[in-house]
Amino acid sequence: MHSINANVLLLCLATLLSRAFSANFSELFQPSWAPDHIMAQGDTLQLKLDNASGCGFESKGKYLFGRVSVQIKLVQGDSAGTVTAFYMSSDGPYHDELDFEFLGNVSGEPYLVQTNVYVNGTGNREQRHTLWFDPTADFHTYSLLWNRHHIRFLIDGIPIRVFANREDIGVPYPKNQGMGIYGSVWNADDWATQGGRVKTDWTHAPFISAFQSFEVDACEYLPETDDMVGKCREGGDYWWDRPAMIGLSLHQSHQLKWVCRKHMVYDYCKDTMRFSDPPRECLG
């Protein structure tokens, strides 16, 4: 009986989404857990967290290189203990993953955005930034751009982080696993706000983050297709493979330096308590 109800709920949600969204959501994405906590409001997808559950969605396909973007408006008011996530990930214990995680806070305190890069199941590459705007007042665009040379984390087109391909010095780089695209909101009050010292206040629930304007411009990874890894990685016909995309422009480099100087509050490369010897990619 439970599985029948769940299937009916998924069918109803899929129907609702197909009516409410410009085609790219219903064609590219689907609920991944707690579909009863996902609500369509016009062109906006609302993800709800309460003391029963969070929720999430996932792409139907996987991708190897390209750019994915979404506009997000984060939980308003007291969001301590909550995490809203937008990320890409492959499957299995040796997965690759690229994370945007938005760490909630008590009213009046700034949100922190945490980024991370996993390669072959290993992460521990966190950076944290404050934002130069109120992410709860309006929608802003969050993007992941990923090619053979580097990974860019962008907010409204401004790079806040670049993870370069340093295989030349033995640093592993994600280039062989197709990754799905995910969004979620969930409770992480054991670590998310002030290291877990501030817990989620459920009297303020439900906590709602809103997503809209999904864009996927990436090479779809189809394992059943011969040499798909080679096609996506070595194709050369994609805009992200052009010489201009090897690195940042001068203007983008200046933007990145500004963000790091004004808004970075944590960088794993400088955490000598965690790493007595800096990770190899941090050496220059």
Residues annotated as catalytic are 97, 101
Q: Which residue has the tokens 């997808």?
A: 45
Look up residue 210 and give its two tokens.
Answer: 């809103």
**Segment holding 217, helix H or strand E:** strand 207-221
Residue 53 CA to residue 86 CA, distance in Å, equals 18
**In angstroms, what CA-CA distances link 162 with 22, 24, 117, 132?**
31, 27, 10, 19
Look up residue 147 and give its two tokens.
Answer: 């090619």
CB 209 within 8 A of CB 75: yes
- What is the CA 79 to chain-centroid distance, rounded? 18
What single string gives the DSSP state of each residue in 133-169?
S-TTTS-EEEEEEE-SSEEEEEETTEEEEEEE--GGG
Residue 278 CA to residue 281 CA, distance in Å, equals 8
